[in-house]
Amino acid sequence: MIIKAAKRVATVEEYYFSRKLAQIEQMNLAREEKIINLGIGAPDGMPPKQAVERLCADAMCSNTHAYQSYKGTPELRKAFAEWYSRHYGVTLDWASEIQPLIGSKEGILLLSMALLDEGDKVLVPNPGYPTYTSASKLTGAEIVNYPLREDNGWYPDFEALEKMELEGVKIMWVNYPNMPTGAPATREVYRRLIEFGRRHNILIVNDNPYSFVLNDKPLSILAEAGAMECCAELNSLSKAHNMSGWRVGMIAGAKELIELVLRVKSNMDSGMFRPLQTAAAEALACDKEWYEELNGEYAARKEIASQIFDLLDVSYNPQSQGLFLWGRLPEPLIERAHSIDPDKCAAEVISDIILEQCGVFITPGFIFGSAGRNYLRISLCANRATLQRVVEKIKTLKL
Asked whether residue 36 carries a pLDDT value surpassing 80, the answer given is yes
CATH code assigned at 76: 3.40.640.10
374 with 346: CB under 8 angstroms? yes
What percent of the chain is modeled with pLDDT above 70? Answer: 100
CATH code assigned at 37: 3.90.1150.10
Is 251 part of a structural domain of the chain?
yes
Torsional sign, CA 373, 129, 229, 268: positive
The arithmetic mean of pLDDT across residues 341-347, rounded, is: 94
Are residue 65 and residue 39 in the same domain, yes or no?
A: no
Instruction: Indicate the pTM of the whole model.
Output: 0.94
Cis status of the peptide bond prior to 43, with omega within 30 of 0: no
Largest Cα span, the chain: 64
Calpha distance 40→43 (Å, rounded): 9
Is 1 part of a structural domain of the chain?
no
Residue 40's pLDDT is: 83
Strands 231-236 and 36-38: unpaired
Confidence category of residue 2, pLDDT binned at 50, 70, 90: confident
Domain boundary among 257, 287, 317: 287
Backbone angles phi, psi at 307, to 5 degrees: -65, -35
Residue 7's pLDDT is: 81
Question: Nearest 10 degrees: CA dihedral of 278, 177, 294, 281?
Answer: -10
The helix, strand and coil proportions of the chain, stated in percent and rounded to the nearest 5, come to 45, 15, 40
233 with 221: CB under 8 angstroms? yes
Are residue 179 and residue 198 in the same domain, yes or no?
A: yes
Is 281 part of a structural domain of the chain?
yes
Calpha distance 252→247 (Å, rounded): 17
Residue 4's pLDDT is: 85
Residue 289's pLDDT is: 96
Are residue 72 and residue 21 in the same domain, yes or no?
A: no
Mind listing the pLDDT tens digit for each residue in 89-145?
A: 999 999 999 999 998 999 999 999 999 999 999 999 999 999 999 999 999 999 999
Mind listing the pLDDT tens digit for each residue in 351-376?
A: 999 999 999 999 999 999 999 999 99
Is 12 part of a structural domain of the chain?
yes
* Domain extent for 14: 7-45+289-394
- Coil, strand or helix at 204: strand
Residue 203, CA distances (Å) to 107, 109, 132, 209, 340 in order: 14, 15, 14, 19, 44
Is 296 part of a structural domain of the chain?
yes
Residue 1's pLDDT is: 79
Are residue 271 and residue 304 in the same domain, yes or no?
A: no
Are residue 133 and residue 171 in the same domain, yes or no?
A: yes
Mind listing the pLDDT tens digit for each residue in 260-303?
A: 999 999 998 888 999 999 999 999 999 999 999 999 999 999 99
Cis status of the peptide bond prior to 127, with omega within 30 of 0: yes
Residue 359's pLDDT is: 94
106 with 100: CB under 8 angstroms? no
Is 189 part of a structural domain of the chain?
yes
What's the domain count of the chain?
Answer: 2
In 3D space, the residue among 292, 218, 288, 284 whose CA is nearest the CA of residue 81 turns out to be: 284
Are residue 273 and residue 342 in the same domain, yes or no?
A: no
Are residue 121 and residue 142 in the same domain, yes or no?
A: yes
CB contact set of 180 (below 8 Å; sequence gap of 6+): 127, 324, 326, 363, 365, 368, 372, 375, 377
Are residue 267 and residue 317 in the same domain, yes or no?
A: no
Domain boundary among 231, 256, 287: 287
Is 399 part of a structural domain of the chain?
no
Confidence category of residue 17, pLDDT binned at 50, 70, 90: confident
Asked whether residue 15 carries a pLDDT value surpassing 80, the answer given is no
258 with 99: CB under 8 angstroms? yes
Are residue 273 and residue 326 in the same domain, yes or no?
A: no
176 with 223: CB under 8 angstroms? no
Confidence category of residue 307, pLDDT binned at 50, 70, 90: very high
244 with 44: CB under 8 angstroms? no
Are residue 275 and residue 319 in the same domain, yes or no?
A: no
Structural element, H or E, at residue 282: helix 274-284
Specify the DSSP class assigned to residue 5. P
Domain boundary among 266, 287, 308: 287
Is 2 part of a structural domain of the chain?
no
Are residue 40 and residue 105 in the same domain, yes or no?
A: no
Are residue 183 and residue 233 in the same domain, yes or no?
A: yes
Mind listing the pLDDT tens digit for each residue in 133-185?
A: 999 999 999 999 999 999 999 999 999 999 999 999 999 999 999 999 999 99
